[in-house]
Amino acid sequence: MPEARSVAEFRQILDLYLDESDNPDFITYSRDILDYYEHWVWEIQYLMRLGKFCGKRVLDVGCGFGWHTVGLAALGGNEVVANDIRETMISALEKRLRVVQKEHSLLGVERLLGDICALNMGAESYDGIYCHETIEHVHDLDLMFTKCFEILRRGGRAVFTNDNNALCRSVRKNNEELWKKRDREWSFIERLKQERPVENADVEPYAAMRERMVRSANPRLTDEEVTSLVEASAGMVQHEIETLSKRYGAKTKLPSPPKWSWCRNPETGEYCERLLDPFELARQLEGIGFRVSVHHLFRKWPLCIMNSWNLRPFNLLLFQLRPPFVLVAEKP
């Protein structure tokens, strides 16, 4: 099992990991870490305490470019399996790890490419699961949570963090504005391509994708009918859009897009910053068999003492101050 490193040693490892990547997306994403480094390190340590991740085998779901993976491995002495659905991210992570491990050979990290919902992993093969800012994109959360339950050992914990909190008024407003741009504005798409050219090389507005699917499925539709179907099918995936379009008629009652999850890639099913209710998620996890608690992410006194309070009316007030939430799900 890898050895845990001090915060000072970890900074040396992280600096080496972040240095001189040839991936422009990696460089863009990494800026936030260095801008908020102290809080970022505190957060990883806090989440490791909640998950009891110390000297454990941990799956990092949706690891992205892997800086949380490196933090879990170095600060907690954990054996970490870094999982992501994007090959470009796993490839960049692998390149940077090769550089780091020339000097820090005891850093225990493995790579695992693929969708956690589809991967074949052994039952009870992990002591812990770490999932940071990922569940807002997942196409089937019930399937993902079920998979997490299966691969966790008894007594193991899954820690899910997210800031797309549907209970926070400002987050709802900001996300709704983002969704409209992501769904329809080409100027917004061009900015995404400039900021993260690898990840967004081939992206286009979701509405444009839905329109192409509608017209292909039913070429007889008028422009007005196509417009109505494009609006009504927001949140659907391709086969659903094609079925609705083929069956469309003058008396067809069109569906209403889901309020908190209509901004969605119709080809992959991936959501764009879907809004999440932490208490609804907790109930969903409990239905699968987990024991669940809801936590906040306050670092400073006196709010930090309220991080683990579970009184819904009080939590609602705290979420207006800081929307990020943590769900700790333990397998009995």
Res 242: pLDDT: 98
Res 158: pLDDT: 98
Residues 221-245 have a mean pLDDT of 98
Long-range CB pairs of 94-99, under 8 A, 24+ apart, other chains included:
95/21, 95/22, 95/23, 96/17, 96/18, 96/21, 96/26, 96/65, 96/66, 97/17, 97/66, 97/70, 99/16, 99/17, 99/19
Res 167: pLDDT: 96
**CB contact at 8 A, 316 and 275:** no
> CB atoms < 10 A from the CB of 203, how many?
15
Q: Which fold has domain 7-165+276-330?
A: Rossmann fold (3.40.50)
Res 208: pLDDT: 98
pLDDT tens by residue, 146-181:
999 999 999 999 999 999 999 999 999 999 999 999
Under 8 Å CB-to-CB from 196, ≥6 apart: which residues? 24, 25, 28, 29
The answer, yes or no, to whether residue 85 has pLDDT greater than 70, is yes
Predicted model pTM = 0.95
pLDDT tens by residue, 92-123:
999 999 999 888 776 789 999 999 999 999 99
Residues 257-266 have a mean pLDDT of 97
Under 8 Å CB-to-CB from 171, ≥6 apart: which residues? 163, 164, 165, 275, 323
**CB contact at 8 A, 22 and 30:** no
Under 8 Å CB-to-CB from 110, ≥6 apart: which residues? 79, 80, 81, 82
Token duo for residue 77:
């002495």
Q: Among 280, 284, 278, which residue's Cα sits nearest to residue 322? A: 278
% the chain with pLDDT above 90:
89
| Domain residue ranges in the chain | 7-165+276-330, 172-246
For all residues of the chain together, what is the average pLDDT? 95
Res 106: pLDDT: 65
DSSP H or E segment with residue 324: none
Residues 268-291 have a mean pLDDT of 97
pLDDT tens by residue, 296-315:
999 999 999 999 988 888 99
Query: Rounded to the nearest 5°, which phi and psi values hold at 293?
Result: -135, 150
Res 20: pLDDT: 86
